[in-house]
């Protein structure tokens, strides 16, 4: 089962899309011609980080807090994989993180893909 894991530094009072510029920002039609079941997990090192998650035109989660966790350890399956969706080929997977704490934060993101 393919997955992408990203460790990103989120500057104070800024936003970030951890999948931007990666192969999986848009679900690759050549790899997933029928779409995929996508599972998303995120952990951050302190409170004050919020996320909004969208796939294609679906809003999966409006701005909500990211779970706290030990940094430099990937999210654990299935415990931290709280968001799931069926994503069509070529659809954008948009995870927007926003810091409100006024300090630099670390955000660990893992996205798992299961072909349909």
Q: Mean pLDDT for each consecutive 10-residue tract of the chain (116 residues)?
A: 92 96 94 96 95 96 94 89 96 97 95 96
The predicted pLDDT at position 55 comes to: 96
| CB neighbour list of residue 43: distance below 8 Å, 6 or more residues apart | 66, 67, 68, 69, 70, 71, 73, 75, 80, 107, 108
Tell me if the pTM is above 0.95: no
Domains parsed from the chain with CATH numbers: 3-115 (2.60.120)
The predicted pLDDT at position 101 comes to: 93
The predicted pLDDT at position 73 comes to: 85
The predicted pLDDT at position 72 comes to: 80
């Amino acid at each position: 089962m393919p997955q992408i894991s990203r460790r990103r530094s989120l500057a104070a009072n800024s936003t970030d899309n951890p999948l931007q510029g990666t192969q999986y920002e848009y679900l690759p039609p050549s790899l997933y011609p029928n779409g995929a079941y996508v599972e998303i997990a995120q952990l951050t090192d302190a409170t004050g980080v919020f996320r909004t998650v969208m796939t294609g035109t679906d809003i999966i989660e409006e701005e909500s807090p990211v779970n706290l966790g030990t940094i430099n350890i990937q999210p654990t399956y299935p415990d931290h994989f709280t968001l799931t969706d069926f994503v069509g080929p070529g659809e954008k997977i948009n995870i927007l993180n926003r810091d409100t704490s006024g300090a630099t934060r670390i955000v660990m993101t893992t996205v798992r893909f299961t072909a349909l």
